Amino acid sequence: MKSIKLNIGKKFNRRQFLKASGLASAALGSTGLGFFGYEAGKNPESYTGWENFEGANQSFNRKRKSVDHPTYEKIGSSQRPDARTEVIFQRRSLFMRQWKDDTGLEGLDDYLQEYYRKRPEDLDLDLYSMKELMPKMMSDSRKYRQKFILSNAWSNAMGAVSPRSTNEPPEKSDFPSRRRFGGPTEPEKMKSPELTSNLIKKIAHELGSTLVGIAKLNPDWVYLYPMRGRGFEQDKPIDVPKHWEYAVVVGTPMSWDPMYANPNYGTSNDAYSRSRIIAYRLASFIKQLGYAARPHTPGTSYDLMVPPILIDAGLGEQGRPSIVITPELGNNFRPAIVTTNLPLNPDKPIDFGVQRFCKTCKICAENCPSGAISFGGKVEVRGYLRYQVDTAKCLNFWNSTLGSMGCRLCVAVCPYTRKANWLHKTALKVSMNDPTGVSDWALTGLQKRFYPGPDPQKYYMPSLGGENASYREPPWWLKAEDFIEF
Ligand code: SF4
Ligand code: SF4
């Protein structure tokens, strides 16, 4: 996957900026270059995140090598396979449960007896495995346990796609229930929070996360009363567990092309589900090191207010629609969080100019069909100054469209939510290094010129005066009329 490199630390002085912005605005102001930038954005190479390696790399031309018959040969009467005996994992497990030295083959179920009578060499191998190999493996595993603890934890984490126990109270569900290969019950001694943070970030990326950040968990972001239980009593305030010390934020973008075709064709489910699986797996990995971990997965099960934790973890800044804008993906980012007591080195928040840009831009407010996004400034909410969205108006609009559930137009229209091509990277660099604020007006104007959308009223369903419109054309694979007669 292409790495994401954005130099957001470097600040220009006024002279340097004017020089850079002069060049950049000459480039950005050209319709031709804008067109090439738009075209570049359609290239799968510019996708950021998991899409970069799905489909685009399937480059072998199968049509040229297609043949009329499968390349296996049928030479007799066929028979369906019996999973009890022919699937080695199943046969071994049945064999080990049933075998007794005093009864031998006669003590096994009939189908196993029949199988081993036909394949005595398999009986020898299965007996060798049970009597010699497995005991040696268990004893050597204990001896060399630590050398392979990370590879074991990673492998097991990959299989952990369901938080079976997260409906128990945190003091029960968040802690490791057992240690593999007879290891100690106390946590592993990690060398340093810095090294551990590097490890956790690398593992999160390996598990599929596009962005990762770490925050010290601010208890202000834990819900006062639980949303969906998860081991808390519904009518009692949550007593923030002491082991929720750190929050590891992971996440992935929604599929880009349907996302641009919101409100009727995109879905948050794709990215939320990917991020959810990453969080389950990461929690499993951490638990296998002996520490507490709980996945919080928006869309389904979480006990935290997520956006401010993204800000604390240095992933982005709050934008006008009150969701977080990241430098790499804009607000096309669906996060999940793992709370843990694994000692980590928290990241610092970032400031790449969103607060100022949103004051000028307001494109999301102009395009929001429901009027849920304010054109005004921030307001105080529970002691913090923030943009506040009218969630009831927003949800009513979700119920005013006929396609995929939700809206996400504020994601699709945001100038920050653009694929990683040179045009958008240049615009981002100009915006975040501008000490004058002039570029905010210029870039907002360019965005409106190159990416206009329909009149917001047209997004509504016809019975409410709309036209079932979408911001962009849906991708070919979501155009029902091209596949289904109606
Ligand atoms: S999701 Fe749609 S209705 Fe809701 S705030 Fe965003 S643009 Fe407005
Ligand atoms: S569309 Fe403009 S105002 Fe809205 S979040 Fe994006 S940058 Fe901010």
**Model pLDDT for residues 60-105, shown as the tens digit of each residue:** 777 888 899 989 899 999 999 899 999 999 999 999 999 999 999 9
Decide if 49 is inside a domain.
Answer: no
Query: Which of 416, 387, 418, 407 minimizes the C-alpha distance to 456?
Result: 407
Give yes or no: residues 122 and 221 share one domain. Answer: no
Give yes or no: residues 98 and 213 share one domain. Answer: no
The better pLDDT of the pair 405, 321 is held by: 321
Helices and strands counted in the chain (H then E)? 19, 8
Residues with CB under 6 A from ligand 1: 321, 368-370, 372-373, 389, 394, 397, 407-410
Give yes or no: residues 385 and 263 share one domain. Answer: yes
Q: Which of 10-24, 238-252, 424-438 has the lowest mean pLDDT?
A: 10-24
CA 309 to ligand 2 center in whole angstroms: 20
Q: What is the pLDDT of residue 61?
A: 78
Give yes or no: residues 139 and 189 share one domain. Answer: no
Decide if 265 is inside a domain.
Answer: yes
Q: How many percent of the chain have pLDDT more than 70?
A: 85
Average pLDDT over residues 14-31: 47
Q: Kindly tell me if the per-residue pLDDT of 181 is higher than 80.
A: no
Which domain does 92 fall in, by range?
83-143
- If one residue of 311, 318, 326, 361 were mutated to test the ligand 2 pocket, choosing by the most ligand atoms within 8 A of its CB, it would be 361
Please say which residue of 95, 116, 143 terminates a domain. Answer: 143
Give yes or no: residues 347 and 401 share one domain. Answer: yes
Decide if 430 is inside a domain.
Answer: no
Q: Which atom of ligand 2 is nearest to the CA of 359?
A: 3
Q: Tell me the per-residue pLDDT of 121-167, one tens digit each, with 9 for 90 and over.
A: 999 999 999 999 999 989 988 888 888 888 888 888 887 776 666 78
Q: Contact, 275 vs 336, CB < 8 A?
A: yes
Ligand 2 close to Cβ of residue 291 (< 6 A):
no
CA-based angle 253:59:328, to the nearest 5?
A: 20
Measure the CA–CA gap between 364 and 374, rounded to whole angstroms.
Answer: 9
Question: Exposure of 103 by Cβ count < 10 A (0-12 exposed, 13-18 middle, 19+ buried)?
Answer: exposed
CA 320 to ligand 1 center in whole angstroms: 11
Q: What is the pLDDT of residue 268?
A: 92
Confidence of residue 24 (pLDDT cuts 50, 70, 90): very low
Decide if 137 is inside a domain.
Answer: yes
Q: What is the pTM of this model?
A: 0.83
Which residue intervals of 102-148 are DSSP H helices? 110-118, 120-128, 134-143
Tell me how many domains the chain contains.
Answer: 2
- If one residue of 254, 265, 373 were mutated to test the ligand 1 pocket, choosing by the most ligand atoms within 8 A of its CB, it would be 373
For residue 248, the cross-strand partners are 214, 338
CA 448 to ligand 2 center in whole angstroms: 12
Q: Contact, 402 vs 486, CB < 8 A?
A: no
Ligand 2 close to Cβ of residue 364 (< 6 A):
yes
Q: Contact, 409 vs 369, CB < 8 A?
A: yes
Q: What is the average pLDDT value for the chain, to the nearest integer?
A: 87
Average pLDDT over residues 288-313: 93
Ligand 2 close to Cβ of residue 418 (< 6 A):
no
Confidence of residue 23 (pLDDT cuts 50, 70, 90): very low
Decide if 117 is inside a domain.
Answer: yes
Give yes or no: residues 192 and 266 share one domain. Answer: yes
From the CA of 353, the nearest ligand is 2
Q: What is the pLDDT of residue 278?
A: 95
Please say which residue of 93, 119, 143 terminates a domain. Answer: 143
CA 57 to ligand 2 center in whole angstroms: 33
Give yes or no: residues 336 and 391 share one domain. Answer: yes
Give yes or no: residues 278 and 327 share one domain. Answer: yes
